[in-house]
Structure 1
Amino acid sequence: MSALRLEDLKQYSDTLRTRRGEPVKLRFVEPRDTEELQHYFRSLSTRSRYNRFFGAISELPTGLLHDFLRVGEHERFTVVATMTVDGFETIVAEARYAFHEDRAAFEFGLSVDDRWQGHGIGSALLRNLECRAAALGAERMFGDTLRSNQTMISLARKSGFVFASHPDDWKLVHFDKDVAVAPKDIPCASWRLAALSRQANSPSALA
């Protein structure tokens, strides 16, 4: 899939729900989110940041921040989950994912703001990511996490992932699962995104 323009990406968003039914908007990150995204990561607890990046950082380094903001290039995407808090759109979770077409595999990492953990946002986000994986044509999805990250391990286990030792780092565990969402059941925005991109790259469109 080739990268789409920011204006194309802006029209795609999904609405997730917390356990209490509160709406959570999931959309692709935009340049206007730069400061808010940094604020989000700075506001995470030290443990949550360590779990997300497998190391001690206080904020996103400039290069990594730039990577997070580049959506669609090399089949890599960043989405942010936002809620209205005290009248302001606030990032409460994020996910970064990549589609490896040669392996029909979908790789992802995610985090949820400490104040919003336990509200079902992580589970809803993970279901949406599986939807996006299916939309892109992935046959399996996978991720890595620290052995000490019991929150992520529990979330992945409840979502049907299978665990294995990481081949390169004893501190990590690898988890994956087959993508089980049928095309006709895909409601997420990336299904429309993938369809639009395929149409744009079809032989008829390029003629």
Structure 2
Amino acid sequence: VLTCWLGEHTARSGRQILQDAGIASFETPADAAMAVAYLSDWSRAQRALMRTPSSRSEDVPSDREAVLAIFREVAREGRRMLTEPEAKAAISAYGIPVPETVVAKTPAEAEVAASRLLKTSERIVVKLLSKAISHKSDIDGVVLNIADAAAVGAAARAIEAGVRKHAPQADIEGYAVQPMVTRKQAQELILGMSRDPIFGPAILFGAGGVAVEVMDDTAIALPPLDDVLASDLIGQTRIGRLLAGFRDRKPTNRQAIIAALNGLSQMIVDFPCLVAVDINPLLADAEGVIALDARIEIEPGRVEEAGPNPALAIRPYPSGWDKAFAGGGTHYHIRPIKPADIALYPEFLARISPDDLRLRFLSPRKSFSDQMLKRFTQLDYDRNMAFVALETATGALAGISRLSCDPDRSVAEYALLVRTDLQGHGLGWELLRQIVAYAKADGIGWIEGIVLSENRTMLTMCREFGFSIAHLPDEPGLVEARLQLH
């Protein structure tokens, strides 16, 4: 309840009565409206934070080594811009579909390539390949809708003549010959990436095509993305409403667009050397998506830098921390927690005894709200970390170790919980070892935990691990376990 008692002298006593009773009271309607706006914005933000994504960019099948090989070759030649075939090969390795492209060195080779492609395609496209010219359409470097091989050779020769006329200093390295993709009901989209001086890499999505600047229908998001964030990005644009279908147009395959955004997001995470990416147009219809053109710029001196990209404003999922463990005749897969793991918690908590829950949370606990479980699984990996142990055979959650760090990274609090029926086989020790290894690698100075003095199993493990144990003078029954890392 929000109130507004208008006036000066007479309102003071009334406003005081309301506030003494715990009811918010404001001097003007504008102040009350602003309070409502703050509450609404906060609630909206909380709802957004609590949504559970089913897939994230790290789940995209990718071939990082293939892309690294392309970038190394470009850097070896001292280039910043990839050719179109190189750029298409790179995005294809991250799950973004592209048409088959044949590189021809001469017009004669272009004719031969066209003869083969015309066996399965009705029309052919010929594009200029030149490291000195990135916007090919500006100098008539693209010829569409060619029906026979001889015309492909003629088109290649016409492109060469146009380059000699408009950009005589540019080298012609060949021609890209590919099938003409015609999807009558497809929407032209653009996917891109650029570096912001403050927020680092940013992803662009919107209406594409040759008139992208005129349409000015784009939105920006910060990587890493997941399916929820990618869907939000699509929804911020006007063309996003057209993608839902209208009149005789079927809805586009939204999941295919989301997968393309997630693929681009993961490429940005994996390669700090990326300077700019431009995928335009990306055709999207009910069948899926396909990228007809792509431009990528890199920083040659940073090609060998390994991800995750340190320039990201949001820390990505900490990949590379998976491991296998066997204990008590059971095999486990230990990895960083993901938001989708919330589905594993109800069964996990049901198989933990009330006494083990009391030892973990320092007091009896009977239930956990849905919001609390989401907070357990949706982490800011910059400040928090959790490792889950999953039974390899069933995928069931067997145990979890958790770390929560101070902003200055000097101290982090740890916690550990193993399913009651699986205790005594070394899983808790392995989860603690994993969280300590992560804290060391992350530069954290100390880790500490508050333990009930009756929790002898945990205290024994801590002593064997090298923790110092001290009783808390102001908290009878509690002890503090601390381990210095740096």
Fold shared per TM-score above 0.5? yes
CA distance in 2, matches of 1:76, 1:4: 17
Does structure 1 residue 62 correspond to structure 2 residue 370? yes
Amino acid at match of 1:133: A
Query: Which among 88, 91, 106 is matched to residue 412 of structure 2?
Result: 106
CA contact 2:387–2:431 (8 Å) conserved in 1: no
State the partner residue of 2:179.
none
Does structure 1 residue 72 correspond to structure 2 residue 377? no
CA distance in 2, matches of 1:167, 1:18: 40
Does structure 1 residue 25 correspond to structure 2 residue 336? no
Q: How does 1:72-151 map to 2 (within 5 A)?
A: 72=380, 75-85=383-393, 88-102=394-408, 104-151=410-457
SS at match of 1:102: coil
Does structure 1 residue 156 correspond to structure 2 residue 462? yes
Identity %: 24
Q: TM-score, normalised by structure 2?
A: 0.34
Residue 101 of structure 1, CA deviation:
4.1
SS at match of 2:322: strand
CA contact 1:42–1:58 (8 Å) conserved in 2: no
Aligned length: 177
Amino acid at match of 1:142: E
Deviations 1:96-150 (A, max 9, x none): 2112242512211011111111111111111111111111101221111111111
State the partner residue of 2:480.
174
CA contact 2:333–2:392 (8 Å) conserved in 1: no
CA distance in 2, matches of 1:76, 1:22: 28
Task: Could you tell me which runs of 5 or more consecutive residues in structure 2 were left unpaired when the two chains were aligned.
Answer: 1-222, 227-265, 267-315
CA distance in 2, matches of 1:56, 1:20: 29
SS at match of 1:18: strand
When residues 13 and 132 of structure 1 are mapped into structure 2, their CA distance, relative to the original with a 3 A threshold, is closer
Larger Rg, first or second structure (1 or 2): 2
CA contact 1:99–1:133 (8 Å) conserved in 2: no
CA distance in 2, matches of 1:4, 1:104: 26
CA contact 2:317–2:381 (8 Å) conserved in 1: no
Q: TM-score, normalised by structure 1?
A: 0.75
CA contact 1:161–1:175 (8 Å) conserved in 2: yes
After the TM superposition, which segments of 4 or more aligned residues of structure 1 sit over 3 Å from their partners?
3-8, 10-13, 18-23
